[in-house]
Structure 1
Amino acid sequence: MEEEKLSESAIRAFQQAYEALVRGDDGMISERMISPALDLPMLADIKQASIPDDKVKALLGQTVILKLNGGLGTGMGLEKAKSLLEVKGSETFLDFIAKQVLHFRKTKGDVRSMFMNSFSTSADTKDALKGHPELVQGGWEVVQNKVPKIDAESLRPAKWPANPTKEWCPPGHGDLYPSLAGSGMLDSLLKDGVKYMFVSNSDNLGATLDLELLNFFAQSDKSFLMEVCERTEADKKGGHLAVRKQDGRLLLRESAQCPPDDEKAFQDVSKHKYFNTNNLWIRLDKLKEVLDKNNGVVPLPMIKNAKTVDPSDSKSAAVFQLETAMGAAIESFDNSGAIVVDRSRFAPVKTCADLLRVRSDAYDVTEDSRLVLSAECKGQPPVVDLDKKEYKTMSGLDKMLSKGDVPSLKHCKKLTVKGKVALEKGITFKGEVTIVNPTAEWRILKAGVYENQTVELGENSEKL
């Protein structure tokens, strides 16, 4: 890592994770160690009629918006920045982010913005934002670090002479903290009087800077605030918030940290009611205190992901990729907290099924360029379950939509697609609908309304 000129902060953060691996710490958080998070404040209850203009101006002068933008979207078969995917029409995630920031500056007041890019997305992002030069001026980005993949057998750095770049991997978005510290950006922001940082994912277009939340965060004197949503069946596999019994601190438990025997409890949305939206509010002066207290790192639980050194070669050497989650820092800050927000602030895209959902009329675009759940969905996003064999990558989704527009999903509770199905223009799904194509060829689903039914596209169906 020193040879690659990575910062001391990055090296110490990796060392922390590696030492946990070597001592056999699997990072698991069992059900007996935690209790559910309860009685959290709600955004709906803190809304104010108005905030004085002079207070807004003062708060914005102390605030920076940071978008996590390091992902390549390899899980969706992409080799470019995921934020370059088209979301609505021809507009990409980056187009929406730029519009959001510029609309805010025009209507509310000037505020800093920046991106956390990776080595793989920095150039693409800068090129895509050429039309918005004001967003790529000095201090516009911090670049994510990289860490060695670890050989699963020897626990030494993995070697892959055929392509040495594959010996490295991203360290997860928990790298936000060493990246800010190691780049000098944290000290620079503090020197300029910036006190509050709002962080969210570039693929979550519902997460814009909210003045009520900013004001609440400032008045609460919290060091760290996590936005959470109430879990539904569509969210049961994602991480949830909990309270550690030992010390009463809030913590985040990801699926990779759940022992197999606790999976049922992990997915019980009536027990563990809140999930992390990855919209975080951080007091930068308090972050500096945590770093100084812990030898330049934020103590974060290690997440061990088992992979192969070459992701495209399942027979290549088994490795561990050591990652951390930035939301897990909620347990590292004194006086941290969480607040319950509604679905208007959460519209992420992790899979092709997610992208189909947000491209549909189940999500509307607001005047300030946010993606919000349609009122007709009544607070519940449609569950979209696409055949993982056929629609894991964008090539499959593009084939599905090659005959026309995205189907209507605003009255759909659950859509399940099994097999190779191409959708004609003019399709509406309502209630719970399953489309099955048992054949090996792409078949076309005709235009029309499909409501609470299962449709099988057999040999007599039209081929694509």
Structure 2
Amino acid sequence: MGSKGLETARAKMQDAGVDPVAIDTFAHYYRLLEHGETGMIPESTITPLDMESLADVEVDDEAAAEAIRRTAVIKLNGGLGTSMGMDRAKSLLCVRRGLSFLDIIARQVLHLRKEHGADLPLIFMNSFRTSADTMAALARYEDLQVDGLPLEFLQNKVPKLLAAGLVPAAYPKNPDLEWCPPGHGDLYTALRGAGLLAQLREAGFRHVFVSNSDNLGAVPDARVAGWFAQSGAPFAIEAVRRTASDRKGGHFATRKADGRIVLRESAQTLEADKDSLADLDRHKYTSTNNLWFDLDAMTEALDARQGILGLPMIRNVKHLDPADPTTQEVIQIETAMGAAIEIFEGARTIEVGRDRFVPVKTTNDLLVLRSDIYDLGQDFVLDQSSDGVPFIELDGDFYKLVGDFDKRFPEGAPSLREARSLVIDGDVTFGKGVRVVGDVKIKAPSAERIDASAVLAADG
């Protein structure tokens, strides 16, 4: 028997029909939490990691084609984009030429199937909040689903725990808010629970490529697939050089104790180590969340652990209702899927170009994606048309929510190809065809409008 809080949480999950292995996995982390585990990774326990670059790797074309033919694609699609004011699947957001993330992902995969003569299954890991909207949006792509395989599976859900007492939170006003996703580290538990690992192996697939649906740069690329196949690694993650916008984000390192690669997230970094976290010269690489794994290796690892991979825990403290700071503090037990890299002996990382990492987490990112920084080719792959990606910082009071953002760019995004940075402090609406050149900062004490075809420059 466990503690009263754990037994109450178990009963709640059972009543909600949560998969038994997901319940056991939650219990594993609950006990760690109960015994004071914080999931922190002190700077003193790690050393910086260096790695090879895809640009320097030779991959035989036929080997690459064969590797992609034996690859299945999974897109993480459980997010609602609530931080940007959305209440539907974030991937439904229109991003280019009237197409949503889902539209572009589907068309990328359909194009690659023709190019390589590959089945290339595309499967979405949805949440109970994104499933219906996502499946309705994908219904137009009649050839998308591969025979014998589903188009989606559902991630699990776990109870939020009151910080005081570690008992499941109750919120009759909105019972959905009593639950939270257990982080994208739930991927492996959910895949096993849905029977998909076995299905994919039986269908002859060897590798899985996983990425976020809000990263349109994460194309299931044959060259990367070929590198992974010829490496013989059981698990790998694509990395990019960190930039100023990544200072607060996670990074790769080597654990001193056993030489394993680890992925340290900001939530796992002690306050005293924040300067090291932000040091781009010390910790050079961040995760794209584009990862590859060998189906046999993943199955064996899960079997050996009775379905509980044992990823490092992330202890997230939030309010029960994220939109209401007066609600009680809760603890959300989460894991990150990239943290699985430390589970596998011989796991690898590889540096890829920034074009494979185009995440949209804020409207700052959305402005870049909608601008002329990227072209969308006939293969529906984003092609970066400028030497670099400018730094964007929009005033959160006026641009944070998608609805407010759209009102201020009614004629589309300005041209950013010649920009190094754009910082807006205040309420500014842009006319059609505005160009931003160099480093531009706009301070607007009251609402302003930039005329159509205006050129904004540092000395303008």
TM-score for the superposition, normalised by structure 1? 0.93
> 2:137 is matched with which residue: 125, 128, 141?
128
Corresponding residue for residue 455 of structure 2: 449
Q: Let me know the Cα RMSD of the aligned residues.
A: 1.5
Corresponding residue for residue 359 of structure 1: 370
Deviation of residue 61 (structure 1)?
Answer: 4.1
8 Å CA contact 2:355–2:384 kept in 1: the answer is yes
Secondary structure of the equivalent of 2:61? coil
Q: Are residues 1:388 and 2:396 paired?
A: yes
Corresponding residue for residue 161 of structure 1: 172
> 1:35 is matched with which residue: 32, 36, 47?
47
Corresponding residue for residue 173 of structure 1: 184
Distance 1:257 1:366 in 2: 39
Q: Deviations over 1:160-202 (max 9, x none)?
A: 1222221101111111000001111112212222210001111
8 Å CA contact 1:242–1:250 kept in 2: the answer is yes
> 2:407 is matched with which residue: 358, 380, 399?
399
Q: Are residues 1:5 and 2:17 paired?
A: yes
Distance 2:26 2:438 in 1: 47
Deviation of residue 57 (structure 1)?
Answer: 5.9
Distance 1:313 1:211 in 2: 46
Q: Are residues 1:409 and 2:428 paired?
A: no
Deviation of residue 295 (structure 1)?
Answer: 2.3
Deviation of residue 352 (structure 1)?
Answer: 0.6
- One-letter code aligned to 2:101: F
Distance 2:436 2:33 in 1: 47
> 2:107 is matched with which residue: 99, 103, 112?
99
Where do 5+ consecutive residues of structure 2 fail to align?
Answer: 1-12
Q: Deviations over 1:55-93 (max 9, x none)?
A: 566434421011111111111110000000011131110
Corresponding residue for residue 51 of structure 1: 61
Distance 2:113 2:184 in 1: 27
- One-letter code aligned to 2:422: L
Deviation of residue 366 (structure 1)?
Answer: 2.8
Corresponding residue for residue 202 of structure 2: 191
- One-letter code aligned to 1:298: L
Corresponding residue for residue 268 of structure 1: 279
Secondary structure of the equivalent of 1:134? coil
Deviation of residue 421 (structure 1)?
Answer: 1.0
Distance 2:340 2:105 in 1: 25
Distance 2:244 2:427 in 1: 26
Distance 1:319 1:93 in 2: 32
Distance 1:186 1:299 in 2: 18
Distance 2:308 2:142 in 1: 33
Q: Deviations over 1:367-400 (max 9, x none)?
A: 32122322x2x2x311101112222211221121
Secondary structure of the equivalent of 1:414? strand
Corresponding residue for residue 427 of structure 2: 420
Distance 2:261 2:418 in 1: 36
Q: Deviations over 1:254-279 (max 9, x none)?
A: 11111112111101111100000000
Secondary structure of the equivalent of 1:405? coil
Distance 1:56 1:216 in 2: 7
Distance 2:39 2:408 in 1: 39
Distance 1:305 1:411 in 2: 39
Secondary structure of the equivalent of 2:344? coil
TM-score for the superposition, normalised by structure 2? 0.93
8 Å CA contact 1:129–1:136 kept in 2: the answer is no
- One-letter code aligned to 2:449: I
Count of aligned residue pairs for this structure pair: 444
8 Å CA contact 2:64–2:223 kept in 1: the answer is no
Corresponding residue for residue 87 of structure 1: 95
Distance 1:396 1:305 in 2: 29
Deviation of residue 297 (structure 1)?
Answer: 1.2
Q: Percent identity?
A: 46
